[in-house]
Amino acid sequence: MDLLNTLVDKGLRRELPTREEALAVLATSDDDLLDVVAAAGKVRRHWFGRRVKLNYLVNLKSGLCPEDCSYCSQRLGSKADILKYTWLKPDEASQAAAAGLAGGAKRVCLVASGRGPTDRDVDRVSQTIKAIKEQNEGVEVCACLGLLSDGQAERLREAGADAYNHNLNTSESTYGDITTTHTYADRVDTVQKAHAAGLSACSGLIAGMGESDEDLVDVVFSLRELDPDSVPVNFLIPFEGTPLAKEWNLTPQRCLRILAMVRFVCPDVEVRIAGGREVHLRTMQPLALHLANSIFLGDYLTSEGQAGKADLEMIADAGFEVEGADQVTLPEHRAQAAACGDTGGCHEGGGVCGPAPAVAAEPRTDLVAVRRRGAGTDLAPNA
């Protein structure tokens, strides 16, 4: 297919595809799906080999958020029966992080619900970062605390944070439909603050919220412009008790096309499959490793993932290898840019318009399990 040859050539040169090319990837048929995966897989292997980076989420503070992000089980007014607890102590968070690192993760993502941290919260998280770094040599720490005020990114950097996550989530034109308590511009501003402070920026999207193909392409092109080092791709988990509970629109094939499009638009960036991997890709997860070079190990913020051991087996069975702490994730040109400071919503990742899926997606509510183990409980974490 000419389209795919063009996209591979552009991906290997880090050249931006046109919007029409990106839209055409989303519009490919199921008959062409393996060709699409193979083409995007060439770009993935060129920049990242067969390595898979494992990231581990620690939910520092769960639920009770004053914001109204409609996809989020922790939102204002959420009726989802999730774990709710206030800040973990530094040693509790460090213990949770250690479990993920022992399971093979190289990055720990410290996440807290809320609009954004107070200066006291930044102190608290700084102590947690220091505790984790002291106890685990070489670990990467990413903070995800919501909207940042002036000076907070710098303080997190000084405390030892390597990265900051804040997702754009969806296109600017539909942002107001999913959240009313803050704006798309607020989110862009926080990613830019993180970037300016020398933190590696991590910013991604949520697919499956009723957006059009154009919206998906818009948000991924905006991400390319913001130039984060990592792009988490969430697939909406339609939690009962949230406004998007009925948005069961994704098929495994649709998820693979979305990941391929993100890979073509952001070829040399860490593309991470985030929330919703097990719920929406299901048995097709191994194919997605040909597109993304990064996943979360174990559980998500408020829902359970598949067993950490199953993640590791899947990676090995699919012919990939877990990226070691001594391996550099990013291609040389990006890693060097990060080292000299030239690097480019938070929280829970999860209806697609555009071409209708060949088969309507059946709601798989049986696959959504609220997290009842790990951080904030007395039970062992999944790692």
Q: Which residues contact ligand SF4 (rule: CB under 6 A)?
A: 65, 67, 69, 72, 74-75, 113, 115, 146, 345-348
Q: Are strands 205-207 and 270-273 parallel, antiparallel or unpaired?
A: unpaired
Which of 44, 51, 65, 144 is flagged as catalytic?
A: 65
Rounded to a whole number of angstroms, the minimum distance from the CB of residue 359 to ligand SF4 is 30
Quote the DSSP letter at residue 70: T
Rounded to a whole number of angstroms, the minimum distance from the CB of residue 367 to ligand SF4 is 21
202 noted as active-site residue: yes
Vertex 91, ends 87 and 97: CA angle to 5°?
90
- In whole angstroms, what is the distance from residue 383 CA to residue 154 CA? 31
**Among 300, 173, 177, residue whose Cα is nearest residue 243:** 177
Rounded to a whole number of angstroms, the minimum distance from the CB of residue 373 to ligand SF4 is 20
Vertex 63, ends 61 and 65: CA angle to 5°?
100
Say how many C-beta atoms besides its own lie within 10 A of residue 19's C-beta. 14
Of 52 and 65, the one with the shorter C-beta distance to ligand SF4 is 65
User: Residues of 331-354 as b/e, b for ≥16 C-beta within 10 angstroms?
Assistant: beebeeebeeeebbbbbbbbbbeb
Rounded to a whole number of angstroms, the minimum distance from the CB of residue 350 to ligand SF4 is 10
| Residue in this structure with the two tokens 């709710």, named with its chain if needed | 84
Of 111 and 141, the one with the shorter C-beta distance to ligand SF4 is 111
202 is in an annotated binding site: yes
**Among 217, 211, 212, 219, residue whose Cα is nearest residue 191:** 219
Of 175 and 320, the one with the shorter C-beta distance to ligand SF4 is 175
Of 65 and 143, the one with the shorter C-beta distance to ligand SF4 is 65
69 is in an annotated binding site: yes
353 noted as active-site residue: no
**Among 237, 236, 233, residue whose Cα is nearest residue 202:** 233
- In whole angstroms, what is the distance from residue 193 CA to residue 7 CA? 32
Rounded to a whole number of angstroms, the minimum distance from the CB of residue 349 to ligand SF4 is 9
- In whole angstroms, what is the distance from residue 12 CA to residue 367 CA? 37
Which of 107, 157, 187, 202 is flagged as catalytic?
A: 202
109 is in an annotated binding site: yes
H or E element, residue 47: helix 33-48
| Residue in this structure with the two tokens 């094939």, named with its chain if needed | 253
Of 75 and 195, the one with the shorter C-beta distance to ligand SF4 is 75
Which of 44, 272, 277, 334 is flagged as catalytic?
A: 272
Rounded to a whole number of angstroms, the minimum distance from the CB of residue 62 to ligand SF4 is 9
Which of 44, 69, 124, 144 is flagged as catalytic?
A: 69
65 noted as active-site residue: yes
340 is in an annotated binding site: no
334 noted as active-site residue: no
Helices (H), 242-376: 252-265, 285-288, 308-317, 332-339
144 is in an annotated binding site: no
Which of 44, 51, 72, 157 is flagged as catalytic?
A: 72
Which of 44, 107, 124, 142 is flagged as catalytic?
A: 142
72 noted as active-site residue: yes
255 is in an annotated binding site: no
| Burial class of 205 by CB neighbour count within 10 A (0 to 12, 13 to 18, 19+) | buried
124 is in an annotated binding site: no
Of 224 and 347, the one with the shorter C-beta distance to ligand SF4 is 347
Report the catalytic residues.
65, 69, 72, 109, 142, 202, 272
Binding-site annotation: residue ranges? 65, 69, 72, 109, 142, 202, 272
Binding-site annotation: residue ranges for [2Fe-2S] cluster? 109, 142, 202, 272
Binding-site annotation: residue ranges for [4Fe-4S] cluster? 65, 69, 72
